Structure 1
Amino acid sequence: MPTRALVFDFDGTLADTESAVLQSWRELFREHGVELPMAAWYAVIGTQHTTPAMFALLAEHVPGIDPEALRPKSKARVFQLLEKLGPRDGVRSYLETAKDHGLKLAVASSSSGAWVNPHLERLGINGYFDAVLTGDLHKAKPDPDLYLAALDALGAEAADTIAFEDTPHGVTAAKAAGLTCVAVPNAITESLDFGQADVVLPSFTAKPLEALLTR
């Protein structure tokens, strides 16, 4: 069956923003004498609950802490770490190939539009996408709502569309919406279980997009 559309997760998939976010949380926890348990991070990665979950966990270890007072510093540190971040290796080649084949492209992210859109622009890849769907307007993953909204925005059918994800939560969302899903884990998520994915690639450079389009 020919592929007519591609839908990409943003954080950790198009760009490895998750490494910067994780580093900032680790630093914040250590400033308060606590190590961030990776199991807690993996439980929420790829969803909309990361920030409240991390602040709640820190508050459990440091009674009386004021999350709102820490929020501006935490946010500033993330943006400092992201200043020189580019797209993941091979992403731009995938996007160029997709456009050469006349495919429709969308982003489906649990993060907010205020986070995703400026980063897409800063990375210089916003112009590739026909639609950007975000978690401030749709139910976050692992709910399939973002992918269903992406299909609607592109005028595409699930059977004609491939999703690209870096977390099991994201894969669950894509499969629940009926899409073929290619998992491309990053350094943080590579040890997780991607058994639900149709294809698992170590990177976007491991296989050309054309090889996936002829699935």
Structure 2
Amino acid sequence: MPIRALIFDFDGLMVDTETPALQSWQEIYAEYGVTLNVHDWAATLGANAGFDAHTHLVSLLRERDPLLAERVIAERDTILARRQARKDELSADQPLLPGVAELLAEARAAGLPCAVASSSSRRWVEGWLRRLEVYHAFATVVTADDVVATKPAPDLFLTAAARLGLPPAGCLVLEDSPNGIRAARAAGCPVVAIPGAISRQVPLPPADLTLPSLAHTSLAALRQRFG
């Protein structure tokens, strides 16, 4: 089926907020003398569940210092707040990733509707879209606040397609994460994988097309490939 809309993921696809997300936790882990590796973290890419970094930190500490582990449990809220503040600090100056603005401009010129489907909160996603002055480019924004289950469940993409008034098979999904690719597949959408700084370090499930960045394609090329 020809492409009738584009559905963008947000974190890692439009803006590299995935590196700050991981780095902020790695810094917390380092304070306690342990390490968080990208393969443990991979379960959370594109999702808002599946891996609890605080619980994982506690499990690592129990093996070497049970008393310290209990302190980390007691200080959970403080640790989470510090980590969020650090993530926000590291994310603050991140720009749109290469090719995003150009593809949105091409879609606008062609009259092709675009949507966002993200496992993050509406506050997070819309805040970024407005800050980067691309909110107006999207016909709809679907977030974790709009569905029962986030990626790898298909709900976000099915909701985006329904809001666009299109069948999922006509909505081309642009994704960087394993969970996002699985969700697009489950929804029946064709999917292009654009691995980000973090997701390129882990195995990805099969996609219909894989690109190093959105700067390596164009709307015309995508329409030719999927039309």
Q: TM-score, normalised by structure 2?
A: 0.90
Aligned counterparts, 1:33-112, within 5 A: 33-49=33-49, 53-62=52-61, 63-64=69-70, 65=72, 66-112=75-121
2:38–2:202: 8 Å Cα contact kept in structure 1?
Answer: no
Aligned counterparts, 1:99-178, within 5 A: 99-138=108-147, 139-178=149-188
Identity %: 39
2-structure distance, mates of 1:47, 1:59: 21
2:174 match: secondary structure: strand
Give the letter aligned to residue 119 of structure 2.
S
- The structure whose Rg is larger is 2
Give the letter aligned to residue 111 of structure 1.
S
Match of 1:24 in 2: 24
2:4–2:170: 8 Å Cα contact kept in structure 1?
Answer: yes
Give the letter aligned to residue 200 of structure 1.
T
RMSD: 1.3
2-structure distance, mates of 1:91, 1:100: 14
1:194–1:200: 8 Å Cα contact kept in structure 2?
Answer: no
2-structure distance, mates of 1:82, 1:165: 19
1:162 match: secondary structure: strand
Give the letter aligned to residue 16 of structure 1.
D
Give the letter aligned to residue 189 of structure 1.
S
Give unmatched runs, 5+ long, in structure 1.
Answer: none
Match of 2:65 in 1: none
1-structure distance, mates of 2:165, 2:45: 29
Q: Which moved more, 1:20-29 or 1:60-69?
A: 60-69
2:38–2:201: 8 Å Cα contact kept in structure 1?
Answer: no
1:29–1:36: 8 Å Cα contact kept in structure 2?
Answer: yes
Q: TM-score, normalised by structure 1?
A: 0.95
2:182–2:205: 8 Å Cα contact kept in structure 1?
Answer: no
Cα deviation, residue 68, structure 1 = 0.8
2-structure distance, mates of 1:190, 1:174: 18
2-structure distance, mates of 1:188, 1:21: 10
Cα deviation, residue 196, structure 1 = 2.1
- Once the two structures are superposed, residues 149-191 of structure 1 have per-residue CA deviations (whole angstroms, 9 ceiling, x without a partner) of 0001111111211000001110010011111100000121113
Cα deviation, residue 23, structure 1 = 1.0
Give unmatched runs, 5+ long, in structure 2.
Answer: 62-68
Cα deviation, residue 116, structure 1 = 1.0
